[in-house]
Structure 1
Amino acid sequence: MSSIQSKSTVQILAPLSFLYDFAAQQYGMFSSPNMLDIHNRNLAAFSPQPYFIGGFFFPQQCFQVYWLWKLWTRKGVKEEEVGVMEKFGWVYVLGNVCIGTWMFFWNSNDLKTSNIFVLINTLSQLTYITTMLPPLDTRSTPNLLTHIVAKTFAGIGVLDLLHNTSAAYFKNIPPSTLVQVATGVGFAAAGACSDWIFGACLVYDLVALSMGQSGGWSRLLGAYALGTAGIVGVRNWF
C-alpha cells in the first residue's frame, strides 16, 4: 500500500468526512435533547417514521465503508474508475460535512438553519447523479459502489429535505390539496426518470413518510409508494 504522502487530497478527506459525520450522528443520538426528541417536538406533514432513517443508514454506511476502502487502497480499481470515484469523492465530502453540521443545528432546535445544510447536500447529490455520474456498469465493482453510495445519498437527501423543510416552516400544518397532488406528481415523475437504485430510495422515502403519518394522508402516501414502485419497475423492465 502506498504511503499517506502519496494519497490524493480526496482520498484523505473522504474518510475524514465520514468519521466527522459518524461522530456527529452518535453525539446527536445520545445528547439531550437528542435527534428523536427534536423530531417529536416538530411533527409536520413530511415527518417520516424516525426508525426508517436508522434502518436506511446502517446498510448505506456499510456500502460507504467498502467504497472508502476501494478509494483508499485502489486495489483492483482501474485508472478510469479512479477518476469516477475521486470526482464523486468531492461531492461525498461535501455531503458528509453538511449532514454532520446539520445535526448540531437540528439538536439546537434551529431547524431553519439546519435546513440550509440539508438543501446544500440534497441539491449537490441530485446534481451529481443527474449530470456527472457515468452510466452504471454492474461488471465494475467501483462503478457499482459509486452508483449505490451516490444515489442512496441523494435518495435519503430527498426525504431529509422534505422532512426538515416541513418541520421548520409548516409545523403541525396538514398538507393542502395542492401539496398532496404535487407530492404524487413529483415522485411519479422522479420514478419515471430513475434507475432501480435511486427508484428504490424514492419508494423507501414514501413508505417512511406513510408510516410516520396517519389517516388519509398516510394512506395516500402508501398509494404513492405503490404507484412509484410500479413506475420504477416498468421503466427499468423496458
Structure 2
Amino acid sequence: MGITYSAARWVAPLSFAIDFAAQQYGMMSSPNMKDVHDANLSFWSPQPYFIAGFFFPQQLFQLAWLYRLWKLDPKKSADEKKEVETMVDFVPYYAVGNLCIASWMIFWNASALKSANVFVLINSLTQLYYIFGRLPPMNTRSTSSVLTHIVSKTFAGIGVLDFLHNGSVAYFDHQGPSTAVKVLTGVGFGALATSSDWIFGGCIVYDLVALAVGQRGIGETSWSNLLGVYAVGAAAIVAAKNWARPPYVKQDPSGYEAASTDDVV
C-alpha cells in the first residue's frame, strides 16, 4: 500500500471526516446504533458505553496525529523526512479503517448485521496485520512514532472487540456462551496478551472488561465473572512480558529504522 506524502496529507483527514460524519449519523438516526445494539445481544456483546468511552480519547489522538502529518515538512531536514515516512506508511491502513467503520455504521443502523460484519472483518484484519506485520518498534524519542503506535494499536484494539461483538450478534443472536466459546475466548485473548506491548495490551484488557460488564448487564453473571478473570490474567501477562522485555527503543529520529516501504516522500 504505497502512497505519496502529498496524497497522504489529504487522504488521512478526509477518511477521518467521513468516519466522523458516519458516527454522527449513527448516534442521531432512529434507530440509533445503541438501539440496534440493545435489540441484538449475544455472548460477546460489550457494555456499549465502553465503546463510546474508548473512541472519544482515541479521536483526540487521531487529531494530534493528523495535525503532525500536516505540520511536518520532509524537505526541511533528514529528521523530519524520517518522521514523515513513519506516518505515511500507516496512512493507507488508517484510511481503510476509517472507511470500513463508516460503512459498518450504515449497515449496522439498518440492522443488516451480516453485511456490517464484512466491513468489521476487513478493518480488524487490516489493523492487526499492520501492527504485527509492518509497524516497527516504537521509538520513544520520535513523536511521530509514538503517535502512530497509539493510533494504530488503539484502532486494532477496538477492532478486536468489534470483531467479536458484530460476529456474535450477526450469527449467534440471543445465544449464551458455550464451553467452546469460553475456551476460545480465554485462549485467544491469552495469545494476544503474550504478543502485546503496553498499548495494545491495555486495549485487550479494556475489551475484556467491556465484555464482562456488558454480559453482567444482560444477566450472564457467571460468564461475566469468567471474563473478569480473563481480564486480570491478560493484564498480568502483558505486565510480566513488558517488564521482562521492554518493547520500545530510544533513538534519534534520524537513526530510527522504519519498516521497508515503497512510499515516495
Common topology (TM > 0.5): yes
Q: Please state if 1:72 is matched with 2:63.
A: no
TM-score by length of 1: 0.96
CA contact (8 A) 2:5 2:88 kept: no
Q: Deviation digits for residues 71-121 of structure 1, max 9, x if unmatched?
A: 111169621221121110110000000001110000000000000000000
The 5 Å alignment of 1:177-192 reads 177-192=179-194
Question: Matched residues in 2 for 1:148 and 1:7: separation?
Answer: 20
1:46 to 44, 52, 62: 44
What amino acid does structure 1 have at the position aligned with 2:110? S
What amino acid does structure 1 have at the position aligned with 2:48? P
Greater share of helix residues, 1 or 2? 1
Deviation at 1:127, TM superposition (A): 0.2
- Structure 1's unaligned 5+ residue stretches are 1-5
2:86 to 72, 84, 87: 84
Q: 2:257 maps to which residue?
A: none
Q: 1:221 maps to which residue?
A: 227
The 5 Å alignment of 1:26-65 reads 26-65=24-63
The 5 Å alignment of 1:123-134 reads 123-134=125-136
What amino acid does structure 2 have at the position aligned with 1:182? L
SS at match of 2:42: coil
What amino acid does structure 2 have at the position aligned with 1:164? N
The 5 Å alignment of 1:223-238 reads 223-238=229-244
SS at match of 2:90: helix
What amino acid does structure 2 have at the position aligned with 1:64? Q
Q: 1:3 maps to which residue?
A: none
Deviation at 1:7, TM superposition (A): 6.0
Give the fraction of aligned pairs with identical amino acids, expressed as a percent.
60
TM-score by length of 2: 0.86
SS at match of 2:45: coil
CA contact (8 A) 2:44 2:168 kept: yes
Question: Matched residues in 1 for 2:178 and 2:80: separation?
Answer: 51
SS at match of 1:136: coil
What amino acid does structure 2 have at the position aligned with 1:126? L
Q: Deviation digits for residues 114-153 of structure 1, max 9, x if unmatched?
A: 0000000000000000011011111111100000000000
Question: Matched residues in 1 for 2:28 and 2:238: separation?
Answer: 37
Question: Matched residues in 2 for 1:138 and 1:103: separation?
Answer: 35
Deviation at 1:199, TM superposition (A): 0.1
CA contact (8 A) 2:196 2:238 kept: yes
Question: Matched residues in 2 for 1:130 and 1:7: separation?
Answer: 23
What amino acid does structure 2 have at the position aligned with 1:117? F
Q: Deviation digits for residues 216-235 of structure 1, max 9, x if unmatched?
A: 00000011000000000000
What amino acid does structure 2 have at the position aligned with 1:133? L
- Cα RMSD after superposing both structures: 1.3
Q: 1:118 maps to which residue?
A: 120
SS at match of 1:8: helix
The 5 Å alignment of 1:157-168 reads 157-168=159-170
1:108 to 107, 110, 113: 110
SS at match of 1:102: helix
